[in-house]
Amino acid sequence: MGQLDQKQIERLSDHLGEAETKGAGVAPLTEVVADLTVEAAYQVQLETIRRKVAAGQRVIGKKIGLTSLAMQNLLGVNEPDYGHLLDGMVVENGGEISFSRVLQPRVEAEIAFVLKKDLQGPRVTALDVLRATDYVLPALEIVDSRVKDWKIKLADTVGDNASSGLYLLGGRPMRVDQVDLPQIGMIFYKNGAMINTGVGAAALGNPATCVAWLANKLSEFGITLKAGEVILSGALHAAVNAVPGDAFLARFAHLGEVSVRFVK
């Protein structure tokens, strides 16, 4: 199936919305529409975001997913995907997340970019991204899925706003000329125990390359990255499951720390 008609797009958006309403995962979009394409799935994502904006939320940034080779291989793809960040997704650094806000959360540490200039594709380069960036800082993304048991294919996660959940920013803002983005090291802790490490280069070799990809991909939909937007550039390690009581902390070289705790 190539293009969906508007009624089909709305039906799939309703399907995902049902998971949020009921607080339980639903069947994959690719089971509802067996030959759902990625292009059509992005239309479902945009419909859901349109509804949330109409209900009063604001788009304040974007997130990039599937930036690691391991995740791309897992889903059989050769490029990342993206989702929208809304103001209702923000969590305070060092704060708590009630499990009533999430379904089946996983936590990832990332480098966030905050833009000072618009970025409009196509043909945006990593250098263009650096010139347009106000500062970078550490972030935790709480990825989540409206699809039961994370039983997702690429079109499922794309339609589900790239499995976006919540996010938080921390540490100390740094200009990009003050840090070597590919070489920034990260140590990830769960409940006080180190369980993962990562480095900026884990995200397509350079987090700025991820943001350039995003700007160019968005141009296909007539969307421009705007000054002031937050861009989560991609996980530096494998996502880690969270349950009530879990505490997570990511410590980045030069950029500082970011942490959060889950509660019932």
pLDDT tens sequence across 211-251: 999 999 999 989 999 999 999 999 999 899 999 999 999 99
Angstrom distance (rounded) from CA 95 to CA 2? 43
C-alpha distances in Å from residue 142, one per residue of 6, 57, 169, 225, 262: 30, 19, 12, 22, 11
Angle subtended at Cα 80 by Cα 240 and Cα 26, rounded to the nearest 5 degrees: 60
- Percentage of the chain beyond pLDDT 70 is 99
**Residues β-bridged to residue 113:** 136, 231
CB 118 within 8 A of CB 226: yes
Spans of the chain below 70 pLDDT? 1-2
Q: What is the pLDDT of residue 1?
A: 45
Distance CA 153, CA 85 (A): 21
How much is the pLDDT for 2? Answer: 53
pLDDT at position 84, please?
97
201-213: b (≥16 Cβ within 10 Å) or e: bbbbebbbbbbbb
Strand arrangement, sheet containing 247-252: 96-98, 256-263, 247-252, 185-190, 193-199
In 3D, which of 10, 27, 23 has the Cα closest to residue 105?
A: 23
pLDDT of residue 71: 73
| Stated pTM of the model | 0.94
Contact 210, 129 (CB under 8 A): no
